[in-house]
Structure 1
Amino acid sequence: MIALVVNVVILIALKTPLAIIVTGNLGYILTHVLAISGFAMLRRDRPDLARPIRLPNFFVPLAWLLAAFLAVVLVVGATGFSITGYGGFKELGIACGVLVMGVALWLYRTRVQDPRDAAHAGTTGR
């Protein structure tokens, strides 16, 4: 339901399909930056952690390089409107607003709902 409301608000606010694609691509590239840097940070912090696929150690610096490259692409794409020829500060603001709202909903879920669910898990027969 929340995803439906967010998508309708984005459609109303942005109005053009190209602006919607630009906003979505900003989030898409950001997820790659976070995932790749998360991999590298976990390998640094917990190198002996059990994992189903064990990659060689040379993937860690490669991951940092790729995360840095994607971060540059993200910043240039988000701020270089004259280079890309589409989008603007409105699209950037909406993309950042959606990301902030996502973080706020995640915090609500992990801080408010999950502890309550864990407390009731023993009484509901889970």
Structure 2
Amino acid sequence: MRRRVCLWGGAAALILLCVSRPVVAQDFSDDVMETPSAGITAWCSASNGERGEFYLTAPRTLHSASPAVVGSLSGHFAQTVNARFGTHLIMSAPHCRVFRNAAASEAARAALVTRASKDALRIRDPGIF
């Protein structure tokens, strides 16, 4: 008898699944869907002590701070620096820093520029990547 109840429950769920309408993006709540977060800022940097150079990008706004997005940005940064300056940055290394607001991003970036200047590194901008 117990098995019959389980089968009926499974059959009812299958029928309900077949009869229901297709799921669309509007059916999900905002906490499930990944929505763009305002204010997420990132910039990337790397140093080359042998050449006396410090590579630093301008801050840019991101739509997500997920590890995949930041990792992809770091890879593109490394690829661009390698191509434009003839270096060999590791493409899977974490070159980019992510901040929740622009003020924190600018403060950290300014501190990094100060440190690079003290180390007598020439700051280079790889441009758009």
Instruction: Give the structure-1-normalised TM-score.
Output: 0.26
The structure carrying a bigger helix percent of its residues is 1
The structure carrying a bigger strand percent of its residues is 2
Larger Rg: 2
